[in-house]
Amino acid sequence: MCGIVAYIGGEAALPRLIEGLRRLEYRGYDSAGVAVLDGEGLWVRKDVGRVSELAGHLQGGPGTQVGIAHTRWATHGGVTQPNAHPHTDGTGRIAVVHNGIIENSSEIRARLGKRGVTFKSETDTEVLPHLIREAYKGDPLQAVRDALAHVRGTYGIAVVFADAPDVLVVARNGSPLVVGLGRGETVVASDPQAVVAHTRQVVYLQDKEIALVTREGVQVSTLEGREVQLPVETLDGDYGLASKEGFPHFMLKEIHEQPRSIRRALRGRLQLEEGNAKLGGLNMTPRDLVAVNSVISLGCGTSFHAGMAAAMAIEALARVPARAEIASEFRYRHPIIPRDTLYFAISQSGETADTLGAVQEVQLKGGEVMGVVNVVGSTIARTCARGVYVHSGPEIAVASTKAFTSQVAAMLVYTLMMARCTNLSLEQGQLVAKALDAVPGAVAHYLSEPGPIEEAVERIAKARYVLFLGRGFSYPVALEGALKLKEIAYIPSEGYPAGEMKHGPIAMLDPGTPVVFVCPRDGQTEKAISNMMEVKARGAWLIVIHTRGDDEVARLADLAIPVPETADFASPLVTVLPLQLIAYHAGLALGRDVDKPRNLAKSVTVE
Ligand code: AGP
């Protein structure tokens, strides 16, 4: 989603801003722009399309050393050149880039309109440079502070003033900003990825804070004007410029990385001898674990599906009630937060506004939320004081693959830890630990022999509609398979619990409709076989993901894709793999931009 980079230093700003934007491209965007000082004024270029296209139009741009830049993911107003950021005031001497949403922008527009301000875009953001212009009396920091007093909503902003060439002003409320403190240069960005090329020494702005940024550093204060000393932190994650490592796309690379990424999620956490596990970041004693009377996972999209798979495992192994909730719905239904419920906020990016909102609601009501996050230092990780990093490494493709399996793996480690205290004997715990330890090997084995994916794709790429089915642990996998196919190939598809098909979606089946049935051998296989018969009786084309060697199931399929045997609770970690590959290859077959599918953002920082 939208990205911000701002630079003030001793080198030409334009190439540095473009490099920063390139590092944010993975977040997803539809237009990009820059504003840099130009002699007496500002030089602004922005357009719809890729950062590389924008870079192509910057020849002859000024070599000045101060500027701001942005990648936009449209919310208010269509994908057009005027709606791209930066936005300027009427004189063109103040420029603003903004992430987030100004909720009262219509009222402000109407007010400013009456005072003779004309607007060039349909965006909510454009009110900001006009408000700042009205407030500007020669003090940039005070002008932004006064302007923000009129604003309701979320923002991360960076502002450049032609009349104050030695400063930038940035502010945050609900949209992350990190300030990189280099030698004689300061870089501000919405994501540490865009800062690390300059420095690893950073401060994270907090909500309702504003900062004056100079070449020498940053002075932070609250919006009310109280000075703040933020701790300088060192970025120690893997922020290298992501490489495809010889794969044609990040998505395929990330699918193939899963044996390693799952191993990282498990490493040092499983205790094979003790039949137990340890997640230091949760800081929970056995007494704390047994005091938990229910578990709720909060997340969106793929992360919600990971939470569903985890909840089923917690109920099965720990015998503690557990469920997953869609974070975007959670806080608006006035949820009851029982004291003895443990919440997990599952998020790859750690910046998803809906999930963050759910976390804050739980915390406000006195509940305990643990973060299950990939991006180190992200807002959700920081907001939940305790939690677990899933360590899948940077996920660049917009569609989540390796983060899903790492999230499930990390939650299964928690499951074992809890189950060992509540329900499992030493021997049972050892079996669970051993089963988890075997997963990376099973994943590697599958990826080396993925089965007839091409044949499946041949059918699916031509389909009008695809139905994904699964029972029990395979139901969240069916949901994830359908989500992936929609995201990457734009093929209408839905995931359903297989037993529910006869209550509606069966009406969608024509002769030849592809139905992908996720059916590893487990306690529900017999029931699943009956559901497969119902599919076959309608002449649909049945693709079955089954346990290698399970001929009873394979025989029923028009196309059978075998996966290695696992314990039932760990099966999502292998059954999801063919579905990821099907989505990837179907997307390619249809000429889609698989790493950056249309309309999607990697990190969804608006509600
Ligand atoms: C995954 O392929 C999607 N792009 C999307 O559903 C994603 O999982 C969701 O937006 C949540 O993101 P998060 O894990 O970063 O919070």
Q: What is the pLDDT of residues 391-426, one digit of tens each?
A: 998 899 999 999 999 999 999 999 999 999 999 999
- pLDDT of 239 reads 66
Tell me if 397 CB under 6 Å of ligand 1: no
**Residue of minimum CA distance from atom 2 in ligand 1:** 399
Domain 264-437, what fold? Rossmann fold (3.40.50)
With a 6 Å cutoff on the Cβ, whether 488 touches ligand 1 is no
Mean pLDDT of the chain: 94
Q: What is the mean pLDDT of residues 557-565?
A: 98
Indicate left, alpha or beta for 515 from its phi (over 0: left) and psi (-120 to 50: alpha).
beta
Is 519 one of the catalytic residues? Answer: no
CATH 3.40.50.10490-classified regions of the chain: 264-437, 448-597
Alpha carbon distance 391, 372 (integer Å):
10
> What's the CA gap between 505 and 489, in Å, rounded?
21
Distance 430 CA to ligand 1 centre (A): 33
Ligand 1 atom index nearest CA of 354? 16
Q: Please give the pLDDT value at position 346.
A: 98
Q: How far is the CA of 580 from the centre of ligand 1 (A)?
A: 14
Active-site choice (46, 253, 402, 602): 602
Q: What is the CATH number of domain 3-234?
A: 3.60.20.10
* The pLDDT of residue 243 is above 90: no
Ligand 1 and 601: CB distance under 6 A: no
- For residue 252 the two structure tokens come to 């395929």
According to CATH, the topology of domain 448-597 is: Rossmann fold (3.40.50)
- Site of tokens 């997307």: 587
Rounded Cα distance, 582 and 561, in Å:
11
Q: Where are the alpha helices (DSSP H) in 149-257?
A: 250-256
pLDDT digits (tens, 9 = 90+) for 449-461: 999 999 999 999 9
Q: Counting beta carbons within 10 angstroms of the beta carbon of residue 205, is it exposed (0 to 12), middle (13 to 18) or buried (19 or more)? A: buried
Structure tokens at 543: 């693709």
Q: How many CB atoms lie within 10 A of CB 183?
A: 11
Bridge partners of 204?
178
Q: Which atom of ligand 1 is nearest to the CA of 484?
A: 2
- Asked if residue 16 lies in contact with residue 63, where contact means CB atoms within 8 angstroms, the answer is no
Q: Which helix (H) or strand (E) segment is 561 a member of?
A: strand 559-563
Distance 399 CA to ligand 1 centre (A): 7
Paired residues of 298 in beta bridges: 325, 345
Q: Radius of gyration (Cα) for the chain, nearest Å?
A: 25
**N residues, the chain:** 607
Q: Is 2 an annotated catalytic residue? A: yes
Q: In the chain, which residues fall in CATH 3.60.20.10? A: 3-234
Q: Is the CB of 355 under 6 A from ligand 1?
A: yes
Strand (E) or helix (H) holding 204: strand 201-204
Distance CA 429, CA 432 (A): 5
Q: 170-215 pLDDT, tens per residue?
A: 999 988 899 999 999 999 999 888 998 889 999 999 999 999 999 9
Q: Is the CB of 352 under 6 A from ligand 1?
A: yes
398 in contact with ligand 1, CB cutoff 6 A: yes
Q: Supply the DSSP symbol for 50.
A: -
Write out the two tokens for 541. Answer: 């084309």
Q: How confident is the model at residue 245 (pLDDT cuts 50, 70, 90)?
A: confident
Q: Are 164 and 192 in contact (CB under 8 A)?
A: no
Q: Return the minimum-mean-pLDDT range out of 72-76, 104-108, 432-436, 439-443.
A: 72-76
Q: Tell how far the Cα of 600 is from the centroid of ligand 1, in angstroms.
A: 9
For residue 48, the SS3 value is: strand
Cα separation, 177 vs 213, whole angstroms: 12
401 in contact with ligand 1, CB cutoff 6 A = no
Residue predicted with more confidence, 506 or 376 = 506
